[in-house]
């Protein structure tokens, strides 16, 4: 995989003092401040070098990756820890409930009249202490195990979702908002982490504790236990049901309202220029006060609900105890119940309410976790719209013949952008696509390397339908230079090697010379090891283009698809880029989406695309002779002084 060599082990490239580099080249400073440099260097020296992971990526998910996402299936990968955790939960619920029983024994057999025994009291006391200590240790072990379990499971899930993102097709990322996808990776996964770490084990622990206590209550005294179940439990249950509904309502309310707050905030921040220019600050604050106020109200509501539920359950417990004191006291007087048993009963009763309260509170976490799982499952089950056939073959080394055969395509199939297009590009031929904006030039290019599949018709490479070959073998032979080349945070070297991580330094030097990047590299303080900032913001548009061309040259594709930058370049950079293009195109088939007619004029053939199809095709001189659409465009261009409209405006 490309990431393994080129980027994975990138630590070394960042250590060389980018601060110095930036200031020397007058680039905006984005490195490690001097005062922090010593610390950072020490950290880098101590950090283990990350080995490139041994990892294979296939477009088609393997059987394990296709498994349906459920909580049990995620947990079951770590069965050993699940089993250990469960045993610990059982042990804890038993150990922590032994106290009242020991108290009962100590009272009845060590303190009751006629049964005085210091030995029994001492043994009970020591045992009490020992079991409580053991219980605490078991709780610690259980927290460790579930913590580990949760972080492993979340790690797997994050990688699974990320891998799925790598498989999905372009249309998915166009339709889904990046913010929504980010929230799948952050809040949804965090909800789940919460659930696994605390939710599930607490649910099991409290549920089990309730069962143990109920059993003990009945074992201690059936009559008293029956009174408890008949009188107190129904009231508590009804009340808990109310709380559950009320708090869920509060949760939904505050979730919706915080979303509004965030939406308003991000809109105001992104649009700050428009806001300031139109003097909307006051209106903006008023508006933000509204949404923040609504969020505060939702929180107040949740606060009120909690303030009622907590004390009220304690109240119900106390009333119940009062009642049972009456009934139990009578029974003691009538010798139907020992004093120790009554005290033990009371101690257990206290512990009976806590789990109910905790269970109700955990229920919300459980619900949130569940809806997160559902959302993540939907995401994982979204198939890539451009997928490999199960029996896709590897495309061998190609000559570079590209054929569009009766191709029709619409991003929305009901609304065709291209209609029945036929076009053949011979090996080594460069073809320029020209035509008005929105005519479908980029769309044609996107079909060639299968960013999308045609709605009808076929796209062939060397006579092979691109749908029948693996995406990797296809795309490794088709190079794309986008209009706005994307640079990743890292050194120039790493960015150049992007398409071919195994390229040698000699290859790199050649690429730099061929596209005419040498001047820039020599100007940079650390040459190829200079850090370019994310998205290449510290380079000029022309330099970014050259980098992208060098990147494509290094990858040595048989077919090159180049979306020419529309942004204006100064004449000097333009000359450099045109020279670079000439070298890059030597012997390669190419599609040039030409925004400048100088580029179109250099191509072997020009294809004029308009109204969803090819309207003219021929060599530049032929088309000029014919006096059709291209000739008209050319004349208009000459009349404007041979410069492009875009540049004129700039």
Residues in touch with ligand ADP (CB under 6 A): 174, 411, 417, 435, 437-443
Least spacing, CB of residue 563 vs ligand ADP, in Å: 8
Decide whether 363 or 411 has the Cβ nearer to ligand ADP: 411
Angstrom distances, CA of residue 223 to CA of 218, 230, 236, 345, 560: 8, 11, 19, 11, 86
Decide whether 128 or 409 has the Cβ nearer to ligand ADP: 409
* Distance, CA of 641 to CA of 635 (rounded, Å): 10
Quick one: CA torsion of 123, 125, 129, 130, rounded to 10 degrees?
A: 10
Decide whether 439 or 474 has the Cβ nearer to ligand ADP: 439
Decide whether 295 or 634 has the Cβ nearer to ligand ADP: 634
Least spacing, CB of residue 443 vs ligand ADP, in Å: 3
Least spacing, CB of residue 511 vs ligand ADP, in Å: 27
Least spacing, CB of residue 437 vs ligand ADP, in Å: 4
Least spacing, CB of residue 208 vs ligand ADP, in Å: 53
Output the six-digit token pair for 644. Answer: 């492009």
* Distance, CA of 231 to CA of 335 (rounded, Å): 23
Least spacing, CB of residue 629 vs ligand ADP, in Å: 14
User: Residue 376 in contact with residue 186, Cβ under 8 Å?
Assistant: no
Helical (H) or strand (E) element with 98: helix 98-106
Decide whether 172 or 352 has the Cβ nearer to ligand ADP: 172
Decide whether 439 or 623 has the Cβ nearer to ligand ADP: 439
Least spacing, CB of residue 596 vs ligand ADP, in Å: 14
Least spacing, CB of residue 415 vs ligand ADP, in Å: 8
Which 3 state secondary structure label does DSSP give 469?
strand
Cβ-Cβ contacts under 8 Å for 247 (sequence gap 6 or more): 302, 305, 306, 309, 364
Angstrom distances, CA of residue 472 to CA of 179, 394, 460, 501, 517: 28, 8, 16, 15, 29
Quick one: CA torsion of 201, 207, 211, 214, rounded to 10 degrees?
A: 130
Decide whether 435 or 479 has the Cβ nearer to ligand ADP: 435
Least spacing, CB of residue 584 vs ligand ADP, in Å: 21
Cβ-Cβ contacts under 8 Å for 470 (sequence gap 6 or more): 59, 388, 392, 393, 394, 395
Decide whether 134 or 615 has the Cβ nearer to ligand ADP: 615
Q: Which of 355, 316, 343 is nearest to 204 (CA)?
A: 355
If one counts every other C-beta atom within 10 angstroms of the C-beta of residue 96, the result is 19
User: Residue 589 in contact with residue 428, Cβ under 8 Å?
Assistant: yes
Decide whether 165 or 301 has the Cβ nearer to ligand ADP: 165
Decide whether 175 or 391 has the Cβ nearer to ligand ADP: 175
Output the six-digit token pair for 299. Answer: 């929180």
Q: If you count them, how many residues does the chain have?
A: 650
Decide whether 26 or 415 has the Cβ nearer to ligand ADP: 415
Least spacing, CB of residue 141 vs ligand ADP, in Å: 53
Q: Beta strand pairing status for 464-465 and 430-434?
A: unpaired
Between helix 571-585 and helix 541-555 the angle, nearest 10°, is: 10
* Distance, CA of 554 to CA of 217 (rounded, Å): 77
Least spacing, CB of residue 544 vs ligand ADP, in Å: 20
Cβ-Cβ contacts under 8 Å for 42 (sequence gap 6 or more): none
Least spacing, CB of residue 571 vs ligand ADP, in Å: 25
Decide whether 135 or 612 has the Cβ nearer to ligand ADP: 612
φ/ψ of 504, rounded to 5, equals -85, 170
């Amino acid at each position: 995989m490309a990431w393994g060599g080129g980027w994975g082990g990138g630590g070394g490239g960042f250590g060389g003092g980018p601060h110095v580099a930036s200031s020397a080249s007058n680039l905006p400073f984005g490195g490690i401040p001097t005062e922090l440099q010593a610390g950072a260097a020490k950290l880098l020296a101590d950090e283990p070098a990350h080995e490139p992971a041994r990892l294979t990526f296939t477009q088609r998910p393997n059987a394990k990756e296709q498994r349906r996402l459920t909580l049990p299936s995620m947990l079951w990968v770590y069965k050993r820890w699940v089993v250990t955790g469960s045993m610990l939960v059982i042990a804890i619920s038993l150990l922590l409930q032994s106290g009242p029983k020991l108290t009962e024994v100590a009272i009845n057999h060590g303190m009751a009249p006629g049964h005085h025994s210091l030995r029994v009291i001492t043994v009970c006391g020591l045992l009490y202490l020992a079991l409580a200590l053991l219980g605490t240790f078991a709780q610690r072990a259980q927290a460790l195990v579930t913590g580990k379990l949760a972080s492993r499971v979340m790690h797997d899930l994050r990688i699974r979702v990320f891998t799925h993102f790598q498989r999905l097709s372009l249309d998915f990322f166009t339709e889904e908002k990046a913010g929504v996808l980010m929230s799948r990776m952050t809040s949804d996964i965090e909800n789940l982490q919460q659930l696994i770490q605390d939710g599930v084990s607490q649910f099991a622990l409290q549920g089990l504790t309730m069962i143990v206590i109920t059993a003990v209550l009945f074992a201690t005294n059936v009559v008293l236990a029956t009174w408890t179940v008949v009188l107190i439990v129904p009231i508590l249950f009804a009340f808990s049901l109310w709380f559950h509904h009320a708090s869920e309502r509060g949760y939904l309310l505050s979730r919706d309202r915080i979303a509004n707050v965030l939406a308003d905030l991000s809109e105001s921040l992104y649009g700050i220029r428009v806001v300031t220019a139109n003097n909307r600050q006051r209106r903006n604050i008023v508006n933000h006060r509204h949404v923040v106020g609504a969020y505060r109200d939702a929180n107040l509501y949740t606060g009120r609900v909690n303030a009622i539920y907590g004390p009220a359950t304690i109240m119900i417990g106390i009333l119940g105890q009062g009642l049972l004191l009456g009934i139990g006291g009578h029974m003691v007087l009538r010798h139907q119940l020992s004093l120790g048993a009554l005290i033990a009963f009371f101690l257990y009763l206290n512990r009976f309410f806590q789990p109910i309260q905790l269970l109700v509170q955990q229920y919300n976490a459980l619900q949130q976790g569940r809806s997160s799982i559902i959302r993540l499952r939907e995401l994982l089950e979204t198939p890539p719209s451009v997928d490999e056939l199960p029996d896709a073959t590897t495309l061998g080394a190609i000559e570079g013949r590209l054929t569009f055969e009766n191709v029709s395509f619409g991003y929305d199939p009901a609304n065709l952008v291209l209609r029945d297009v036929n076009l053949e590009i011979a090996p080594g031929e460069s073809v320029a696509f020209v035509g008005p904006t929105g005519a479908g030039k980029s769309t044609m290019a996107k079909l060639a390397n299968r960013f999308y599949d045609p709605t009808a018709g076929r796209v062939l490479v060397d006579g092979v339908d691109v749908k029948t070959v693996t995406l990797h073998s296809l795309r490794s032979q088709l190079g794309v230079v986008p209009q706005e080349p994307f640079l990743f945070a890292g050194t120039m070297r790493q960015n150049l090697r992007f398409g071919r991580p195994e390229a040698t330094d000699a290859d790199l030097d050649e690429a730099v010379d061929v596209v005419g990047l040498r001047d820039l590299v020599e100007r940079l303080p650390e040459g190829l090891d200079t850090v370019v900032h994310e998205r290449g913001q510290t380079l000029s548009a022309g330099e970014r283009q050259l980098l992208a061309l060098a990147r494509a040259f290094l990858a040595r594709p048989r077919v090159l698809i180049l979306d020419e930058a529309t942004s204006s370049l100064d004449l000097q950079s333009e000359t450099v880029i045109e020279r670079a293009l000439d070298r890059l195109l030597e012997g390669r088939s190419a599609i040039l989406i030409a925004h400048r007619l100088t580029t179109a004029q250099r191509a072997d053939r020009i294809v004029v695309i308009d109204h969803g199809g090819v309207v003219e095709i021929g060599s530049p001189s032929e088309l000029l002779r014919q006096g059709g659409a291209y000739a008209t465009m050319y004349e208009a261009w000459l009349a404007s002084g041979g410069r492009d409209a875009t540049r004129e405006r700039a």
